[in-house]
Structure 1
Amino acid sequence: MNKDYNFSVFVNSTDTYSDCWEPFFKLFKKFWKDYEGKIYLNTEEKDYHYEGLNIIPTKVAKFKDKNKLTWSECLLYAFSQIDTDIILYLQEDYFLKANVNHEKMLELVDLMLKYDLTYINIADSGNRGPFSPSTLHEDLWEVSQQDKYRISTQASLWNIKKMSNYVRKHESPWHFEYYGNIRSRRKKDAFYAVNRDKYNKHHQPIFPYDATGIVMRKWVREIVEDLFRDNDIIVDFEKRGFYDRTKDKKRFSKKPFFKKVIATVKSLI
């Protein structure tokens, strides 16, 4: 317990998703038994602990009124509390379903530090390519600047100082991915993904989860129902309900048109 690592796990969440924390950390503890380092849980005000895990709630509302905090401000305030340069970025609905490849995770972190990398996507979701083999290591692919999801909030290793350079305080997570991707094309940072021929959801996944357990604030039945039942996790699914792809539509933004234009200009700066 409390083992020193050269990276931390960062679970980006919010108090309104606290019903995800118990299933998330129960599965985390079961499927990543070797991890004994710090886990930063991003919260506004709530505290949370799980036996056997070193969870540090960030409680970012101590920096600013929680009703005025943006998603990006919560992220940056949380980063100011983390004492490692490298994080494994996760979200509270990335529910593990099989064992994490602990040794490979440590190897990838070492590559991050050795080559001063910005980002390595460890799942086969998020980045969509095109990819090219990396000269740094056979387990890495370089992500093209033409990738529309070059910056992704799926499970990834990040250098938090470099990640912060792509964040704008007014942005939502969807804006961060969209406009951050555009900003990334103007910088020299190289982005990487794991070699998906070797590591994918069907073969040797490094961090096995399905993206994602909640959509539009509702549970995704095919991801969580059997997983929770098989692992003795009891959740009142009726409180959130189940996501229906035919009825629920995912929206990029609810801002009026003129606000979208202003946000776009600010995001590209």
Structure 2
Amino acid sequence: MDSRFTILVNSSDGFTDCWGPFFKLLQRYWPGCQSRILLNTETHDYQHPELPVVATKVQGDSPRRLTWSECLSAALDQVQTPLILYFQEDYFIRRAVQAGKVEAALEHMLAHPEVKHIALTGIGSQPPFEPYVDTRFQKIRRRARYRISTQAALWRVETLKSYLVAEENGWMFEIYGTWRARKRDELFLCADYSDASGGPAIEYLHTGIVKGQWLQEIQDDFEANDIDIDFGKRGFYQPKNVLRRKIETGMRLLERPGYLLKQLM
């Protein structure tokens, strides 16, 4: 078992239909991975016949349902390694993981404690990036959009936990966490995902589920990998135009004006 990092698959009990496909694709496209795997659940248990998956069951004896951030924080408390590789249950890997890139990022973080985070996809923090002394990586700007992202990445456990605020859900964490990150001089990197480098270390569709419904494009990936799912139970997400999505996000932020003002200040 690799003692350097833990794969943390952040999920909840409402996404049990994703777990089988996720781990099938992880096993197929990263067969040499030796990491311990934590599946973050509230109350559900889960075992895989071949992978070392442990369900966190973080709800415990709490009399109320934990928030997204509280669940993630409780899962991080169960991590026994200095680093985690963060996934969510609908990040269905679609090609072989570039294990060499992941290994290079792991070794770089262990050798350089000032590096707090290395993104491993091309769909997290937004460019332009800044040059870095090691050309395998680039700096994520302090004022980058989605400097804090929930896409696949290596994190120092204490760093990720330090950005969590108990009352926030996942999308709030990305927006408000990014604002908080702009005030902290921490070194965040992104592994080179250019075509010249062979693409991202870990490649998947930008979430297989949107607002509780399947992304239509996931059908091709599942069919190519002999995954049989009843898509009718969730249905398919109908994309909205960019302006409408931005308006909806703004309206959601304004639902709690006091909290919004607190974060702005």
TM-score (norm 1): 0.90
Distance 1:104 1:246 in 2: 34
Look up the equivalent residue of 1:168 and give its one-letter code.
V
Between the aligned residues of both structures, percent identity stands at 36
Distance 2:253 2:125 in 1: 29
Matches within 5 A, 1:232-251: 232-246=226-240, 251=248
Distance 1:73 1:96 in 2: 27
Closer, same or farther: CA 256–179 of 1 in aligned 2, 3 Å: closer
Give the deviation of 1:145 after TM superposition.
Answer: 1.5
Give the deviation of 1:103 after TM superposition.
Answer: 2.6
Matches within 5 A, 1:5-24: 5-24=3-22
Distance 1:60 1:12 in 2: 11
Give the deviation of 1:205 after TM superposition.
Answer: 2.8
Q: Is the 8 A contact 2:121 2:152 kept in 1?
A: yes
Closer, same or farther: CA 80–256 of 1 in aligned 2, 3 Å: closer
Give the deviation of 1:130 after TM superposition.
Answer: 2.1
| Residue aligning to 2:211 | 216
Give the deviation of 1:265 after TM superposition.
Answer: 4.0
Q: Is the 8 A contact 2:192 2:200 kept in 1?
A: no
- Tell me, what secondary structure is at the counterpart of 2:84? strand
Q: Is the 8 A contact 1:134 1:142 kept in 2?
A: yes
RMSD, matched Cα? 2.1
Look up the equivalent residue of 2:132 and give its one-letter code.
S
| Residue aligning to 1:128 | 126
Give the deviation of 1:114 after TM superposition.
Answer: 1.2
Q: Is the 8 A contact 2:101 2:191 kept in 1?
A: no
| Residue aligning to 2:32 | 34
Look up the equivalent residue of 1:119 and give its one-letter code.
H
TM-score (norm 2): 0.92
Distance 1:23 1:139 in 2: 31
Give the deviation of 1:255 after TM superposition.
Answer: 5.6
| Residue aligning to 2:75 | 78
Cα deviations across residues 121-167 of structure 1 (Å, max 9, x unaligned)?
A: 110001112211111x1111001112121111011111110111111
The answer to whether the aligner puts 1:225 opposite 2:219 as a matched pair is yes
Cα deviations across residues 78-123 of structure 1 (Å, max 9, x unaligned)?
A: 0000101100110000001111112321221111121111111110
The answer to whether the aligner puts 1:207 opposite 2:202 as a matched pair is yes
Give the deviation of 1:199 after TM superposition.
Answer: 6.9
- Counterpart selection for 2:153 from 147, 153, 156: 156
Closer, same or farther: CA 48–199 of 1 in aligned 2, 3 Å: farther
Look up the equivalent residue of 1:239 and give its one-letter code.
K
- Tell me, what secondary structure is at the counterpart of 1:212? coil
Q: Is the 8 A contact 1:139 1:198 kept in 2?
A: no
Distance 1:255 1:204 in 2: 34
Distance 1:246 1:255 in 2: 16
Task: List runs of 5+ in structure 2 lacking aligned partners.
Answer: none
Look up the equivalent residue of 1:36 and give its one-letter code.
Q
| Residue aligning to 1:260 | 256
Task: List runs of 5+ in structure 1 lacking aligned partners.
Answer: none
- Counterpart selection for 1:195 from 185, 192, 200: 192
- Tell me, what secondary structure is at the counterpart of 2:139? strand
Q: Is the 8 A contact 1:94 1:213 kept in 2?
A: yes
Distance 1:242 1:21 in 2: 18
Distance 1:182 1:25 in 2: 33
Closer, same or farther: CA 129–114 of 1 in aligned 2, 3 Å: same
Look up the equivalent residue of 1:205 and give its one-letter code.
P
Distance 2:111 2:204 in 1: 27
| Residue aligning to 1:54 | 52
Look up the equivalent residue of 1:261 and give its one-letter code.
P
Distance 1:161 1:238 in 2: 40
Q: Is the 8 A contact 2:68 2:169 kept in 1?
A: yes
Closer, same or farther: CA 264–243 of 1 in aligned 2, 3 Å: same
Closer, same or farther: CA 171–90 of 1 in aligned 2, 3 Å: same
Residues paired across the two proteins, number? 261
Distance 1:167 1:73 in 2: 8
